[in-house]
């Protein structure tokens, strides 16, 4: 169906503002869009004021700290003109210098002028924070920001969002949110030689801070049996019948996706799953615990106490192993990362939470880890997992190196 420019412009800025909101509608819309863009999660340090910056991000070139984006005129962005704000969002060029692409202007350039105006209106009236911006811990030559001019020429294209006329308005809205403000590709897409997103492997998964941001293409999500309902629950609540989020995805759900309107959430899941209509629930796969498997005893001793003898999980304690998406990923990276480091307690509401999971890096050797990982993936994900102790050793190095970057 061919979309008119007017129809699509209205769609992109469509109703996210509550009728009961008495503020300037542009400011209210900007606040919603700031949540979609996950601005608070990146620009708020632990225990710090909202939008005051100071959160560190490990990169292959050193630690980059998020900046103060409050309305403070000295340390924040309160003195920015609209043109300044637009240039930051589209090209990473700030009045005081160029920004590293840790600020995802490589995705935000897809944001429409109307939505950038709403974001600007919102940020200009946020609570000012006089917090001084932290110096990045980046060594030579990467601390010479004039080099970013050349990087932008090679790796960045300031192009507008182009809807696909062959797709529905709902699908196009989802693509706009995922690829633009949601900037999902920044974590879920591998990097090329220039450390830019590799467009030929978009959303195919990438290592980031010691875990795999998994592949989230429609092909892979549908292979794993995701539906609109299960994906909506994961993005809205942080967990579903297919497991829960952890590591860097947890604050993304808590501070961003949880606030999407029902319409926008449906658009996002439609785009990610490649379907506007409901997908069939996958048929349950039979599970047989092989007591002769070398990993069976390890599961019984280290996992069954919380996850259940049959892997059924416990409400408000642990997720189920059945159809668990982490176990069913193409690689065992995240299964191993969780076993090594564990997961802290995670709360989704006053009545919904998961207990902490300990890590077993010091308790299990490489052969034991291989046996346990293979047992988990073979039993509940039906993956032909045949990792050896050497494979585990190699994976551990990749996990540690990615975590230390």
Question: Does some domain include residue 345?
Answer: yes
| Tokens at 341, concatenated | 């480091």
Q: What is the pLDDT, as a whole number, of residue 403?
A: 57
Q: Do 327 and 249 fall into the same domain?
A: no
Helix (H, G, I), strand (E, B) or coil at 67: coil
Q: Please count the other Cβ atoms lying within 10 Å of the Cβ belonging to residue 153.
A: 9
**Residues contacting 284, CB < 8 A, separation 6+:** 322, 323
Q: Are 148 and 174 within one domain?
A: no
297 touches 309 (CB < 8 A)? no
The secondary structure of the chain in percent helix, strand, coil, rounded to multiples of 5, reads 40, 10, 50
Instruction: Domain of residue 347: give its range.
Output: 296-404
Question: Is there a single domain that holds both residue 255 and residue 343?
Answer: no
Domain boundary among 155, 177, 204: 155
Residue 266 is assigned to a ligand binding site:
no
Decide if 207 is inside a domain.
yes
Instruction: Tell me: do 139 and 195 sit in the same domain.
Output: no
Cis peptide bond N-terminal to 70, omega within 30: no
Question: Is 42 labeled as ligand-binding?
Answer: yes
Instruction: Tell me, yes or no, whether 290 lies in a domain.
Output: no
Based on the fold, state whether residues 35 and 150 are members of the same structural domain.
yes
- Which tokens in the block code for residue 36? 């979609």
**HEC profile of 261-325:** CHHHHHHHHHHHHCCCCCCCCCCCCCCCCCCCCCCHHHHHHHCHHHHCCCCCCECCCECCCCCCC
Asked whether residue 188 is marked as a ligand-binding residue, the answer is: yes
- The CATH number for 177's domain is 1.10.760
pLDDT band at 1 (very low <50, low <70, confident <90, very high): very low
Same domain for 246 and 316, yes or no, is: no
What's the mean pLDDT in 344-366? 90
- Taking only the tens place, the pLDDT of each residue in 99-111 is 888 899 999 999 9
**Which of 155, 186, 213 is the C-terminal boundary of a domain?**
155
Residue 326: name the closest of 184, 178, 224, 400 by CA.
224
* Residue 183 assigned to a binding site: no
| Pair of tokens at residue 123 | 């940020």
Q: What average pLDDT is seen over the chain? A: 90
Are residue 31 and residue 151 in the same domain, yes or no? yes
What is the domain count for the chain?
Answer: 3
> In this structure, what CATH number is given to the domain that contains residue 312?
1.10.760.10
On the question of pLDDT at 244 being above 50, the answer is yes
Q: How many other C-beta atoms lie within 10 A of the C-beta of residue 190?
A: 16
Residue 219 belongs to some domain of the structure: yes
Return all residues near 53 (Cβ < 8 A) that are at least 6 apart. Answer: 43, 44, 45, 65, 66, 67, 68, 69, 131, 133, 134
Q: Which of 273, 307, 325 is the last residue of a domain?
A: 273
Is 382 annotated as ligand-binding? no
* Whether residue 212 sits in one domain with residue 116: no
381 and 343 in a common domain: yes
Under DSSP, the state recorded for 70 is S
Please give the structure tokens belonging to residue 152: 């932008």
**Is 293 among the annotated ligand-binding positions?**
no
Q: Please enumerate in sequence order all residues whose Cβ is within 8 A of that of 65, keeping only pairs 6 or more positions apart, or say none.
A: 53, 54, 55, 56, 57, 133, 134, 135, 136
The answer to whether position 282 is within a domain reads no
pTM above 0.85, yes or no: yes
Same domain, 63 and 118: yes
State yes or no: 303 annotated in a binding site: yes
Shared-domain flag, residues 36 and 151: yes
Q: Give CA–CA dist 89/134, Å, rounded.
A: 21
Domain-embedded: residue 175? yes
Q: What are phi and psi of 180, to 5 degrees?
A: -95, -100
270-308 tens-digit pLDDT: 999 999 998 988 888 889 999 999 999 999 999 999 999
Tokens of 34: 């700031």
Task: Give 47-93 pLDDT, tens digit per residue.
Answer: 999 999 999 988 888 899 999 999 999 999 999 999 999 999 999 99
pLDDT at 5: 41
Pair of tokens at residue 393: 């050793």
**Domain membership flag for residue 3:** no
Q: In this structure, is residue 17 part of a structural domain?
A: no
Alpha carbon separation from 229 to 125, 255, 347, 379, 400 (Å, rounded): 36, 20, 21, 25, 35
- Indicate whether 59 and 129 sit together in one domain: yes
> 247 pLDDT exceeds 80?
yes
307 is in an annotated binding site: yes
- For the chain, what's the residue count? 405
Only one residue has tokens 């290592």, namely: 207
């Amino acid at each position: 169906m061919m979309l008119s420019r007017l129809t699509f412009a209205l769609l992109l800025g469509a109703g996210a503002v509550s009728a009961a909101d008495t503020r300037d509608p542009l400011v209210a819309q900007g606040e919603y869009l700031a949540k979609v863009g996950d601005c608070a999660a990146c620009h708020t340090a632990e225990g710090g004021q909202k939008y005051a910056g100071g959160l560190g991000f490990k990169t292959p070139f050193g630690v980059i700290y998020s900046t103060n984006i409050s309305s403070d005129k000295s340390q924040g962005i309160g003195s920015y003109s609209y043109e300044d704000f637009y240039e930051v969002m589209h090209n990473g060029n700030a009045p005081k210098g160029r920004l590293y692409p840790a600020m995802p202007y490589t995705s935000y350039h897809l944001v429409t002028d109307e939505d950038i105006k709403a974001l600007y209106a919102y940020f200009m009236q946020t609570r000012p924070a006089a917090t001084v911006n932290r110096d990045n811990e980046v060594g030579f030559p990467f601390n010479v920001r004039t080099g970013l001019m050349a990087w932008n020429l090679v790796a960045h294209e300031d192009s507008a969002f182009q809807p696909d006329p062959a797709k529905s308005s709902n699908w196009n809205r989802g693509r706009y949110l995922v690829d633009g403000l949601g900037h999902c590709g920044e974590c879920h897409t591998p990097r090329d030689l220039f450390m830019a997103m590799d467009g030929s492997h978009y959303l195919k998964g990438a290592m980031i801070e010691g875990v795999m941001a998994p592949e989230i293409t429609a092909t892979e999500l549908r292979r794993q049996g995701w539906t609109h309902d299960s994906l909506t629950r994961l993005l809205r609540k942080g967990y579903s019948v297919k497991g829960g989020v952890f590591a860097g995805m947890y604050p993304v759900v808590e501070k961003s996706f949880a606030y999407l309107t029902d319409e926008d959430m449906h658009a996002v899941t439609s785009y990610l799953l490649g379907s506007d209509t409901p997908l069939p629930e996958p048929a349950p796969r039979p599970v047989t615990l092989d007591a002769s498997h070398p990993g069976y005893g390890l599961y019984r001793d280290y996992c069954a106490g919380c996850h259940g003898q049959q892997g059924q999980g416990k409400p408000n304690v642990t997720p189920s192993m059945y159809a668990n998406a982490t176990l069913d990923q193409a690689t065992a990276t995240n299964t191993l990362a969780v076993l090594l480091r564990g997961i802290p307690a995670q709360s989704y509401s006053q009545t919904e939470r998961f207990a902490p999971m300990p890590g077993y890096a010091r308790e299990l050797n490489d052969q034991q880890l291989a046996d346990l990982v293979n047992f988990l993936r073979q039993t509940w994900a039906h993956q032909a997992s045949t990792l050896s102790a050497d494979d585990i050793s190699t994976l551990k190095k990749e996990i540690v190196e990615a975590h230390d970057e």
